Amino acid sequence: MRTAHDWFEELLNQADWRSERRRMYDRYVDVPRLVARYALDGASVPPALAQAAQRAREQTGVPFNSAGLNLYRDGRDSVAPHNDHLYEIVAGFPIALISLGATRLMTIRSKAKPRRILDLELENGSLLLMSYETQRFYDHGIPKTRSAVGARISVALRVRPLEGAPS
């Protein structure tokens, strides 16, 4: 897991982390994690991200061109159940999630009843591939935890439509 550890340290220190605010009903709230986004053909991509994306392309055969990074600083950081917006992904391509750092639980829930729930421990160095179709029928999220957990970075790789290309 040396490589995953090195990628974690490098991205923690070099990624362009930002906090975001989101409208919730009539007020704005902090998004409970830090985020960074990269077009993978851009000049400012950290070397660790370029390497991780290349490994994911080799493992999956998918031409990922975009990365969304999440930094969960501790157990208070989370992402609410959601599905990816399909208009932001080229039809048919999966989404890859690389986990670095502390293990966090991901909960995957079917949208339709009867509700099926799958809990996955996302470990350091793991790669989770979620199919395009999954986004139609399932939500995924990282719940908060009271357990003492360290920081975790997830790298979400997607194939985004090129600017101006028909989707």
The binding site for ligand AKG (CB under 6 A) comprises: 68, 70, 79, 84, 97, 106, 122, 140, 142, 154, 156
Q: What is the Cα–Cα distance from 31 to 130, expressed in whole angstroms?
A: 23
Instruction: Give me the phi and psi of 106, to 5 degrees please.
Output: -110, 135
Minimum CB–partner distance for residue 26 and ligand AKG (Å): 25
Q: What is the Cα–Cα distance from 59 to 82, expressed in whole angstroms?
A: 26
Q: Is 100 exposed, middle or buried (0-12, 13-18, 19+ CB in 10 A)?
A: buried
Closest residue by beta carbon to ligand AKG: 154
Minimum CB–partner distance for residue 66 and ligand AKG (Å): 11
Minimum CB–partner distance for residue 40 and ligand AKG (Å): 15
Q: Which is nearer to ligand AKG, 142 or 164 (CB)?
A: 142
Minimum CB–partner distance for residue 152 and ligand AKG (Å): 7
Assigned token pair, 63? 């031409």
Q: Any idea which residue has 């966090």 for tokens?
A: 104
Q: Which is nearer to ligand AKG, 36 or 43 (CB)?
A: 36
